[in-house]
Homo-oligomer: A and B are copies of this chain.
Amino acid sequence: MRSLHHPGREQLDLPAVLYALSDPTRLEIVRRLAGDGELACGTFGLPVTKATLSHHFKVLREAGLIQTRVEGVHRYNSLRKQDLDTRFPGLLKAVLKASVPG
């Protein structure tokens, strides 16, 4: 398996970040991670296959939104809050606030 690629803080690209956030499934993943800290891929009860989910995690990872830590057979994902907030101040907070319908 190819090792997981995480772009550096300086490489974060706004269009890529916005694009990653523009998919409802990925937005939901980000919301969960914002609340729960660290989650394995399989713990999201989303209505897509594991292949599709894996694809979405890859998009989020390569855009620099999440960090994936390997432990045994699991991949634990977490939001790169610090990096995002440094590079794009207020963006994540605004997106998270807005993504709660109501």
Residues of chain A touching chain B, judged by Cβ–Cβ distance below 8 Å, are 14-16, 18-19, 21-24, 27, 87-91, 93-95, 97-99
Contact = CB atoms under 8 A, between A and B. Distances in A.
B95 A89 contact: no
Contacts of A27: 14-15, 18
A87 to B, nearest CB: 7
A90 B99 contact: no
A34 B89 CA distance: 18
Contacts of A88: 94, 97-98
A51 B38 CA distance: 45
Contacts of A24: 15
Nearest to A21: B18
Contact of A98 (B14, B23, B97): B14
A99 B17 CA distance: 12
